[in-house]
Amino acid sequence: MTFRARHLLGIEHLAPEEIRTLLDLAETYVDLNRRTIKKTDVLAGMTQINMFFENSTRTQASFELAGKRLGADVMNMAMSQSSVKKGETLIDTALTLNAMHPDLLVVRHQNSGAVDLLAQKVNCAVLNAGDGRHEHPTQALLDALTIRRAKGRLHRLTVAICGDIAHSRVARSNLILLGKMENRVRLIGPPTLMPPGVAELGCEVYDDMKAGLEGADVVMMLRLQKERMDGGFIPSEREYFYRFGLDAEKLGYAKDDAIVMHPGPMNRGVEIDGTLADDINRSVIQDQVEMGVAVRMAAMDLLARNLKAARGAEAAGVMV
Ligand code: CP
């Protein structure tokens, strides 16, 4: 299997072959997760610590389930009750936990780059569960698996990513992954919600849903990230939904078999019509959640293999 990474910090560090390896392994975990007995022992004896400095439902729950189904001992740190609240730094917190010999550290943090920094200080595998506006690699991987299963391939597709691109780590990771796998990516949203330098990202940019969605195979909606906004980026939610919210009429501009995606949590009636989000003939939003567990199992399985190999080589005095 081709997967050399020691940590999973961002899609930017993965080669296309590593992405394919991870998705192929995740397929086996989709099957396992649909059985009554969903357990394997590939992480037996290993310790996984989840540190979420930002709120999460999907990512935290699926990392916890993934670790437990792989047989790891899983600990969820309650960050709001930790010594971070007494002023302990992120690095001191990480060093403290590192001294307890975890094998996998799953980290979500509000600052871009914080997870990379932490990974340099510890000697276990680190998985980025979302850092600021930077990356959310497991989200892009679960989106990729969802697309591959729905469309039968993960190349030469036209994917429209719509909405609040400027504040979205999901958009950034997806943009990188879809580009690496040779897809055509379009970004659609108001100019106020486009990041600076968007023209250099190697994708097409639209501020009109009709033009941007024409011929799209995949329509990926994004949440308005109000928690990262420090000013008025849209005139009103009502106006935003009128121009950029996805409903059946706007979906009609895309291909007849286009799928609808959203990473969640959704603002129904703001970026997506609730009825369309629930339409199982078009929406794959619940599939994305299901794929999230399988992808996180695959990521931790592969990183644990590399960790065991590195430790084995170190014990034998071999450089890797
Ligand atoms: N998609 C996503 O990251 O959702 P959560 O914030 O609920 O984890």
56 lines ligand 1 (CB under 6 A): yes
Residue among 50, 59, 22 at smallest CA distance from 303: 22
CA 14/CA 276 separation, integer angstroms: 33
Residue 319 confidence (pLDDT) above 70: no
Q: Is the CB of 139 under 6 A from ligand 1?
A: yes
- The closest-lying atom of ligand 1 relative to the alpha carbon of residue 264 is 1
- Using the mean position of ligand 1's atoms as its centre, give its distance from the Cα of residue 315 in Å: 38
- Using the predicted structure, report yes or no on whether residue 320 has a pLDDT greater than 80: no
123 lines ligand 1 (CB under 6 A): no
Q: Which residues contact residue 85 at a Cβ distance below 8 angstroms, ignoring those fewer than 6 apart? A: none
Residue 231, pLDDT score:
65
Q: How many Å apart are CA 112 and CA 1, to the nearest integer?
A: 30
At 199, the pLDDT band (50, 70, 90 cuts) reads confident
Percent of the chain with pLDDT over 70: 98
Give the mean pLDDT of the chain.
95
Is the per-residue pLDDT at 174 higher than 80?
A: yes
Q: Is the pLDDT of residue 237 over 70?
A: yes
* The pLDDT of residue 227: 74
Average pLDDT of 82-109? 95
Q: Does the pLDDT at position 90 exceed 90? A: yes
In terms of Cα–Cα distance, which of 72, 120, 127, 74 is closest to 105? 127
State which of 59, 223, 227, 288 you would mutate to test the pocket of ligand 1, scoring each by most atoms of that ligand within 8 A of its C-beta. 59
For the chain, what percentages of helix, strand and coil (3-state, to nearest 5) are there?
45, 15, 40
Question: In this structure, what are the phi and psi dihedrals at residue 89, rounded to the nearest 5 degrees?
Answer: -75, 165
> Per-residue pLDDT tens for 114-142?
999 999 999 999 999 999 999 999 999 99
Task: Please indicate whether residue 54, judged by its CB atom, sits closer than 6 Å to ligand 1.
Answer: no
Residue having the nearest C-alpha atom to atom 5 of ligand 1: 56
pTM for the structure as a whole: 0.96
pLDDT at 232: 74
Q: Of 58, 109, 133, 224, which is best to mutate to test ligand 1, by the most ligand atoms within 8 angstroms of its C-beta? A: 58
pLDDT band at 3; cut points 50, 70, 90: very high
- CA 241, 188, 173, 258 torsion: positive or negative? positive
pLDDT score at 60: 98
